[in-house]
Structure 1
Amino acid sequence: MTTIKEIAKLANVSSSTVSRVLNDGYVSDEVRRRVLKIIEETGYVPSEHAKSLRTKRTNVIGVVLPRLNTEASIRTVNALNDELAKEGYQIILANTNLKQEKEIENINLLKSRQVDGMILFATNRNRRLTDEIRQLNIPLIAIGQEIPDVSIVVNDDYGAAREMTDRLIAQGHERIGFIGVTEEDHAVGYLRKQGYLDSLKAHRLEIKEEWTAEAHFDFDSGYQAMKSIREQSVHLPTAVFAATDTIAVGAMQYLKEQHFSIPEDIALVGTGNSNIGQYLDPALTTIDFQNADTGREAARLLLHHIQHPGSKPVRKVMRYRLIERDSVLWL
């Protein structure tokens, strides 16, 4: 295996000169051409480990995800990976499986791997997590939650939920139900529900506790939540807003089994623009948070912080769009 010393001897220069060529340091054009010619002829490949020791960079980014198998995560990760790869970075994925303690565990694991930066798909804002992030000495970008003192890329969860509820009201619905998730997830659990509630309040519509239910991020809990709403309600809502498309799919299955017609009996909307939504019967009305844009923006922010240490945190709110499909009767 060819070494820097051998390259230097063949090019008739010092080892330090070869090192400067490899690291884009200053040498004359003639010397640079001579060294690069020898490198090409010998097939020399610099050691990444040795390079990282010299530059203090590993060109690796750690990404902490709540789940590896959700469409939103896949779209976001693919986009940020493409953006980071343009600058020569690779990514390491760490999965929390929606367990809060695993977020801190994975942050520490990636820190021990000496990654150049991290991207955290945050599911909470608890004190332990934010304290751990403050102690990091590498850049971190948070996606999805308002984490203090770091740059964040977030959806307009409140605005999107309120606009979707406004649209249902505009179609004549006055009894609107909601299936959410735990409010420990501030963005998905709290902000989306608050947007729904504030829309109803603004239109002076009744808010009934039996028209709301809590689910998890899966089909089965959406099914059970819709069942709970039906069994507890004296008068059923004429529309139901689900905090995720996955929950909406479970709710739709329950309604179909109970012989409800969608949207004639009950309109149903979700959030997330999952691929399956457009193929359901009826196709699911939803909110598209355009996850690929989020991934690209998070990657660009992280690269900026790596290249400009000490730069101030940035808050980026991403755009969304409502997708009107057949699960609602549109006037």
Structure 2
Amino acid sequence: MVTINDIAQKAGVAKSTVSRYLNGGSVSQKTRDKIDKIVNETGYSPNTFAQSLKAKNTKMIGIIVPRLDSYSANEVLSSVDRTLREKEYQLLITNTDQSSEREIENIYTLAKQKVAGIILMATVVTEEHKKVISEIDVPVLLLGQQAEGLHSIGHQEFEAGYAMGRHAGSLGHKNFLYFSVFKEDIAVGQHRANGVLTALNEETDVNVDIIETSFSFTKAYELALEILPKTNATYILCATDNIAMAVLKAAHTLQLRIPDDFSLSGFGGYEVTSIVSPSITTVKYGYKELGETAVEKLFQLIKGESIEENTLIPNYLLKRESTVSNVKKVE
């Protein structure tokens, strides 16, 4: 493999001269032409990661994710990484296991590593988050959450919830159960939930029970095992596809049949929801578009350009086998 030392020897110049050339520093045109020729002949490619560690303006972007076992987070990560590689930027990934304290620590850590910008997929956004972001001299873009005074990219959560609620109501069901998540989660626990409840409340003579659960598949499954034998709901809505899959597993464990015993739906558009039987009605989110837009907006912030505070990505309803009309069969 050709190194910077090889280039320096072939050009008859010092290693520091080649380093200045690679980093856009002051080099005479004659020397530049000579090094250009050698670089083209050898096919030398500089280590952009090593370069960025030494540069004042690095070619690294940091991203903070809440957990690594999330389909949505991994889809966004893939999109962000692919888009950054096209721009010849490196991606540094840090995981927090849904800990706000670790999110704040990682913001400081990435800033110390001189990243050009940070994408933060926060579990919740606290005043401490806002304080830290205001202290560091690095552009930060929220992904999936919103907070006053901070730039964010997210999904049309209320619209997604409303579309699913309208679909559920249109099927003639009267008793609903909604597995939601903690209200501190603005996107899912509030906006998505409000969309569902707004649509269902437009129906007549309906009853909606709300149960708070976790994003964790295991915890949602254990709770579903407890709740399903007690509910009279004929339609169960789940705040995420992960929770819907947990309810599906619990139904199988309890020998309940979907959609015969109850209809089931989720949010996210995870691939697995189209593979299981019955396939699960869900809302498909644009994770690829979210990642691409996040990179575009973050680069605008890095350049000092003005952007809108909140950008929302649209989604669409996928009607599948798990939801049916609540028409009782005549025996």
TM interval, short-chain normalised: 0.7 to 0.9
- 1:122–1:145 contact (8 Å) kept in structure 2: yes
Aligned residue pairs: how many?
A: 324
CA separation in 1, counterparts of 2:321 and 2:90?
41
Task: Please name the residue that 1:321 is paired with.
Answer: 316
What does residue range 107-186 of structure 1 map to in structure 2 within 5 Å? 107-186=107-186
Amino acid in the other structure paired with 1:72: S
Compute the TM-score of the two structures, normalised by the length of structure 1: 0.86
Q: Unaligned regions of 5+ residues in structure 1, if any?
A: none
- 2:165–2:199 contact (8 Å) kept in structure 1: yes
Q: 1:301 to 1:247 in 2, by over 3 A?
A: same
CA separation in 2, counterparts of 1:26 and 1:49?
21
Q: 1:126 to 1:31 in 2, by over 3 A?
A: same
Q: Unaligned regions of 5+ residues in structure 2, if any?
A: 327-331
Residue 58 of structure 1: CA displacement? 2.2
CA separation in 2, counterparts of 1:193 and 1:136?
34
Compute the TM-score of the two structures, normalised by the length of structure 2: 0.86
Percentage identity across aligned positions? 28
Partner-residue secondary structure (3-state), 1:93: strand
Q: 1:243 to 1:31 in 2, by over 3 A?
A: same
Residue 35 of structure 1: CA displacement? 3.1
The answer to whether the aligner puts 1:246 opposite 2:242 as a matched pair is yes
The answer to whether the aligner puts 1:213 opposite 2:211 as a matched pair is yes
* Offset from partner CA, 1:231-270 (integer Å, 9 cap, x none): 554xx11101000111111112222333332112200001
Q: 1:266 to 1:46 in 2, by over 3 A?
A: closer
What does residue range 1-331 of structure 1 map to in structure 2 within 5 Å? 6=8, 10=12, 21-24=21-24, 32-40=32-40, 51-52=51-52, 55-208=55-208, 211-233=209-231, 236-306=232-302, 308-309=303-304, 311-329=306-324
Amino acid in the other structure paired with 1:162: Y
Residue 116 of structure 1: CA displacement? 1.1
CA RMSD of aligned residues (A): 3.0
Residue 328 of structure 1: CA displacement? 0.8
- 1:59–1:89 contact (8 Å) kept in structure 2: yes
CA separation in 1, counterparts of 2:19 and 2:245?
58
Amino acid in the other structure paired with 2:320: R
Q: 1:32 to 1:193 in 2, by over 3 A?
A: same
CA separation in 2, counterparts of 1:278 and 1:230?
23
- 1:179–1:225 contact (8 Å) kept in structure 2: no
CA separation in 2, counterparts of 1:257 and 1:5?
66
Q: 1:207 to 1:228 in 2, by over 3 A?
A: farther
Q: 1:3 to 1:77 in 2, by over 3 A?
A: same
Residue 159 of structure 1: CA displacement? 1.2
